[in-house]
Chain A
Amino acid sequence: MADEEGSRPLSGIRGKPAGKEKWLEYEERREALYAFLLILPALIIVFLVIAYPLLYSLWISVNNVDFVRQRWTFVGLKNYLDILPKPEFQMAGVRTVYYTVLSVVGSVGVGLLMALVLNESFKGRNVMRSLVLVPWATSGVVIGIIWRWIYDGETGVLNGVLYALGIIPDYVPWMSEGVRALTLTAVAHIWAAAPGSSLLLLAGLQAIPPSLYNAAKIDGAGAWQRFWRITLPWLRPMLLLAVILSTIGGLMTFDLIYVMTRGGPGSATTVFSWLGYTTTYQFFRFGEGTAILYVLTIACLILAYFYGKLLSREQMY
């Protein structure tokens, strides 16, 4: 069949034999136009609605914006220079890093464990593969609601269980202490993010040829050795991908903070995203708020660079 002609333009088949060369040139141009028109609607929506706002918010961040009086004053990097030395900004940075590291290690770790288990054969594996998707299919807001009332000091089930088992003498207000509140919020985040990582890693595990394991077994390699020498090296690109994506997830965390802590107690869980949100929408300091969020954006764009490099190296798209 026509299959062997590989890269030849599709339309060639309908081409007229007479004046072939000129016709092909014309056809090729029509073909390019057609190919361009097909992607045009998508390009318009995506780049108009994403690229333009991205540049626009960069513009806001170098202006002093007064929306009430509709006054814009160009101030250069002043917004950035203003926020950088502020202790609230620096503390938010420390908290963001702490929260992100915790959630990346946790969600990739738990995700890896899940993927390793789900890759084994056991009864009810398909059911399990569905069940681990439950946190993944639940909205961030509902996850926040679930965990807020797990940790609750008066009605929380964590208190209930520990109290019923006699582990704690009385209910503990878990979320009233700063670092503990941030850590426990990160645990909720890990619960939400682990299935995503586990799906990626499971796909990675399934791409490892089983013959490698058989060969290693014949050579007498133990389970531990097989894991370090075969599984991990083969999983490396997927692990990197999971780390990059979960880092962005951790940096961008908002839903959980909004529902569970609202930045509190005090400002103990005020991470960058929350600081940017409150500065912008509660205090209406748009320039500063956007500058804070743009610091996050730059971090994400750096990660995006590695993401893109990884994807093109591994030919994953």
Chain B
Amino acid sequence: MAQTVVRKTASAEKEQARLPRLRLEVGEDFGKRAALYAAVALIAFWSLAPFLWLVVLSFSEIVDIVTKPPRFLPIPLKLINYQTLFFPQSGLGGYSKIEQVGKMPSAFVNSAIVAIGVSLLCLVIGSVAAYAYARYQRYFFHRATFFGLIMTRMIPGLTLSIPFFIFYKALGLLDTKLGLIIAYSSFLLPLTIWIMKGYIEGIPISLERAAMVDGCTRLQSLFKVILPVCTPGMIAAGIFVFMAAWNEFYFALILTSTQNAQTMPVVLAGFAVHTGRVTELPTLFAGSVVGSLPPLILALVFQRFIVQGLLVGASKG
């Protein structure tokens, strides 16, 4: 509409009409920038404030928390909660009666073993499968099973947990880290394959051919040529899998029962639910911070890689 109006006007008139409009645009632009930065500030506050408050709480003593209103900046920072966490028996930190505090170190180790184990398993099996899915799409079987794999992401874990419990009990896998690794791999493999397939499709097929002309077998060309080129994709997939495995709660809750395999979320949730006395709270907050650090650091450091895999894995689930 505006275009036709402009076309019809004589050029002199056009010049005149343009001047005030330009000035208006500068004003508009300033308003727009201000609105944009306000929105940025709002988003930053919304995304960070709740977590930062947890960090503040973890450096507070109970007195700082129960004061009305609470001390928003407990300076100097109190390290006593972290001390209780890492040395539960030390007299300095004050002996904690909640058994969950004592479980925290082993839970951290369990989480690490499970998350790393799942990541490795998924990367090895998933990359090989992703390669086959990327290169052999002419087979109907491959197209069909790939679609099936993607669809498994939509099946709620809640429903699967009961059969898992029954099978694991029969197989003696209850309360073992291996059991958790198998369970997590089953629903994180499709994600790995999806991310890796997209990545491998971007690699020219001539690379493998050249390798095979040079005398590589098919497997050699896969492991020595293709996969090394895929490192960024593997990092992206590895982070997604690690984070999902580290943070998973429902299966860990149902399939584990002792320090042998309980992961961070289970121990923290147990703490949160069973804590009776307010005095134990700061330790819980410190534990929550420590338990969040590994996935958080990975996500922030490798943000670039995550964005690569984002189309597929944007929703954890």
Contacts and interface: CB of A to CB of B under 8 A. Distances in A.
Interface stretch (B63-71, B76-84, B94-102): B63-71
B315 A196 contact: yes
Given A41-B125, A45-B189, A142 B273 contact: no
Contact of A11 (B158, B206, B218, B314): B218
Contacts of A114: 43
Interface string B179-195: 00011011101100110
B247 interface: yes
Interface in A102-142: 110, 113-114, 117, 120, 122, 124, 126, 128-142
Interface secondary structure of A, over-half rule: helix
B132 interface: yes
Interface stretch (A16-24, A91-99, A145-153): A145-153
Contact of B155 (A54, A117, A141): A54
Measured as residues with beta carbon below 8 angstroms from the partner, the interface class of chain A is: 35 or more
A171 B295 CA distance: 35
A60 B162 contact: yes
A74 interface: no
Interface in B140-168: 141-142, 145-152, 154-160, 162-164, 166-167
Nearest to B72: A160
Most chain A CB inside 10 Å of its own CB: which residue of B167, B205, B248: B205
A43 B158 CA distance: 21
A79 interface: no
A32 interface: yes
B194 to A, nearest CB: 7
Contact of B311 (A1, A113, A203): A203
Interface residues of B, number: 114
Contact of A142 (B163, B268, B307): B268
B108 interface: no
A154 interface: yes
A118 B88 CA distance: 43
B175 interface: no
B204 A38 contact: no
Contact of A122 (B36, B142, B167): B36
B314 A196 contact: yes
Nearest to B311: A203
Nearest to B3: A219
B69 A148 contact: no
A38 to B, nearest CB: 4
B66 A154 contact: yes
A52 B163 contact: yes
Contacts of B154: 248, 300-301, 303-304, 307
Nearest to A132: B47
Contacts of B273: 258-259, 262
B269 A259 contact: yes
A108 B215 CA distance: 52
Contacts of B187: 46, 50
B284 to A, nearest CB: 7
Interface string A30-60: 0110111011011101111111111011001
A14 interface: yes
B237 interface: no
B249 A254 contact: yes
B291 interface: yes
B189 A46 contact: yes
Contact of A45 (B156, B186, B269): B186
Given A10-B208, A130-B300, A134-B296, A50 B314 contact: no
Given A43-B145, A117-B43, 20 more contacts: A2-B213, A13-B209, A39-B132, A41-B128, A43-B149, A45-B182, A48-B186, A57-B160, A57-B163, A140-B247, A141-B269, A155-B66, A157-B53, A164-B69, A203-B310, A220-B2, A255-B249, A255-B250, A312-B147, A317-B198
List of 7 A-B pairs having minimum Cβ-Cβ separation, nearest first: A220-B2, A304-B154, A139-B247, A49-B186, A38-B132, A53-B163, A137-B299
Interface of A: 1-3, 7, 10-11, 13-14, 31-32, 34-36, 38-39, 41-43, 45-54, 56-57, 60, 110, 113-114, 117, 120, 122, 124, 126, 128-142, 144-150, 154-155, 157, 159-161, 163-164, 171, 191, 193, 195-197, 199-200, 202-203, 218-220, 242, 245-246, 248-249, 251-252, 254-255, 258-259, 262, 273, 276-277, 280-281, 286, 289-290, 293-294, 296-297, 300-301, 303-304, 307-308, 311-312, 316-317
